[in-house]
Amino acid sequence: MASSVIHSPSTSPSSSTPFYSHTKFSKVCNFTQNAKILSPSSLFGKTLTIITNDLYSKPMNKKKSSILVKCSVSSPALPAALLFDCDGVLVDTEKDGHRVSFNDTFTERGLGVSWDVDLYGELLKIGGGKERMTTYFNQTGWPEKAPSDDAERKEFVASLHKRKTELFMTLIEKKLLPLRPGVAKLIDQALAKGVKVAVCSTSNEKAVSAIVSCLLGPERAEKMQIFAGDVVPKKKPDPAIYTLASTTLGVDPASCIVIEDSAIGLAAAKAAGMKCVVTKSGYTAEENFENADAVFDCIGDPPQERFNLDFCGSLVAKQLAS
């Protein structure tokens, strides 16, 4: 396994003094293939001595020579906050949760509307359930039972969404939809290190709270903040929800890590000036995530862990250094 440290001496070395001690870093010095690599936590507070022969592009006296470099190792970086999207990130809720609840609501109201799997996947490009229904009805025609007045239509959609949320919460309370792998692990790692944790979602606040309290448990829930639904006037891909979260939590956006599963969520996080890790979900696997800082199929639990809090810290360190 190879690794590297970064070192930049303030003066050029002399042949008589091959030992240099500096704390500013800018040039990469490679470890040898058989070097023993320690974790950042094991190095914290200690001094590392490295022998390298490639610190300078021009070898001293035209001969390869070893230089002893003493590097002080600082504390591993930690995010100030982890901000999770809800649907598709905490739980893969869309296909067998929200879609089913929308259809059950349409059936109860006798609207003659049903969203199949593919259609709902297209509708997910619109942030927010009420906005999703409004766009669909505007494009395909409003049901006969819907009012014609714009203000009354808004109330009509709100009532449909309220009933849909009730049906969805029943699914969550029965624990018919499980947490995605690694979610509880990553949240526990963050809370144990004093990292703030929040959920930022376009979904109804009651639905998000149900997922957090029922599936993550009350002990975790009481340590997490929820920003959801109509708490902001514009929904993802607008960055408002993430900007509100960083302001409320009192943290620098550059120190936040967002966990998202969709292109619109990624766009919102980036517009808010945050690093974003994508964990693909059932509906979003083929979306374009080229602007993401990392993309995985899930967070993952050991021994199939994809990433952890240390990885998130490395992204923060990169963000602050850039």
CATH of the domain at 128: 1.10.150.240
DSSP for 232-276, written as a single string: SSS-TTSTHHHHHHHHHHT--GGGEEEEE-SHHHHHHHHHTT-EE
State whether 190 and 155 are in the same domain: no
**Digits of tens for pLDDT over the chain (322 positions)?**
333 333 333 333 444 434 333 333 333 334 334 433 333 433 333 344 444 444 444 444 555 444 444 444 444 689 999 999 999 999 999 999 999 999 999 999 999 999 999 999 999 999 999 999 999 999 999 999 999 999 999 999 999 999 999 999 999 989 889 999 999 999 999 999 999 999 999 999 999 999 999 999 999 999 999 999 999 999 999 999 999 999 999 999 999 999 999 999 999 999 999 999 999 999 999 999 999 999 999 999 999 999 999 999 999 998 677 6
Per DSSP bridges, beta strands 67-72 and 81-84 are: unpaired
**Alpha-carbon separation of residue 255 from 214, 262, 276, 316 (angstroms):** 29, 21, 11, 6
State whether 88 and 111 are in the same domain: no
| Confidence at residue 318, expressed as pLDDT on a 0 to 100 scale | 82
State whether 49 and 139 are in the same domain: no
310 carries an active-site annotation: no
| Confidence at residue 61, expressed as pLDDT on a 0 to 100 scale | 52
State whether 103 and 67 are in the same domain: no
CA distance 212 to 311: 24
**Alpha-carbon separation of residue 139 from 123, 133, 142, 242 (angstroms):** 12, 10, 9, 30
Domain end marker among 173, 191, 220 = 173
Out of 87, 92, 238, 261, the active site residue is 87
CA distance 280 to 88: 8
State whether 150 and 222 are in the same domain: no
Q: In b/e form, how buried is each residue of 75-96, taking b as 16+ CB within 10 angstroms?
A: ebbbbbbbbbbbbbbbbbbbbe
pTM of the model as a whole: 0.72
State whether 253 and 282 are in the same domain: yes
Question: Hey, how many other C-beta atoms are within 10 angstroms of the C-beta on 112?
Answer: 10
State whether 28 and 46 are in the same domain: yes
State whether 68 and 86 are in the same domain: no
Out of 85, 238, 261, 293, the active site residue is 85
Give the 3-state secondary structure of residue 116.
coil
Which residues constitute the domain of residue 128? 94-173
CA distance 45 to 75: 7
Domain end marker among 173, 200, 227 = 173
**Alpha-carbon separation of residue 37 from 34, 154, 189 (angstroms):** 9, 60, 23
Contact 195, 310 (CB under 8 A): no
State whether 238 and 89 are in the same domain: yes
- Nearest CA to 268 out of 286, 243, 233 is that of 243
State whether 225 and 306 are in the same domain: yes
State whether 148 and 196 are in the same domain: no
Largest Cα separation within the chain, whole Å, is 91
Q: Which two tokens stand for residue 191?
A: 């809370």
| Confidence at residue 77, expressed as pLDDT on a 0 to 100 scale | 87
Distance of CA 88 to the CA centre of its chain: 11
Q: How many domains does the chain have?
A: 3
Peptide bond before residue 9 is cis, with ω within 30 degrees of 0: no
Domain end marker among 118, 139, 173 = 173
State whether 86 and 118 are in the same domain: no
| Confidence at residue 132, expressed as pLDDT on a 0 to 100 scale | 96
